[in-house]
Amino acid sequence: MDSNRRLADAVLAAFNQACEQERLDAAELLLQVLELVQTPPSAQVIERRARAAEGNDHARERLAGLRAPRGKSIH
Instruction: State the Cα–Cα distance between residues 30 and 23, nearest whole angstrom.
Output: 11
72 pLDDT more than 60: no
Section 24-53 average pLDDT:
87
Domain ranges within the chain, ordered by starting residue: 1-38, 40-75
pTM beyond 0.85: the answer is no
Q: 40: pLDDT confidence band, cut at 50, 70 and 90?
A: confident
**Rounded to whole angstroms, how far apart are CA atoms 48 and 4?**
20
- How far apart CA 61 and CA 73 sit, in angstroms, is 10
Task: State the pLDDT at residue 9.
Answer: 94
Per-residue model confidence (pLDDT) at position 71: 62
Residue 1, SS3 per DSSP: coil
**Burial state string for 9-28 with b = 16 or more CB within 10 A and e = fewer than 16:** eebbebbeebeeeeeeeebe
Q: How confident is the model at residue 27 (pLDDT cuts 50, 70, 90)?
A: very high
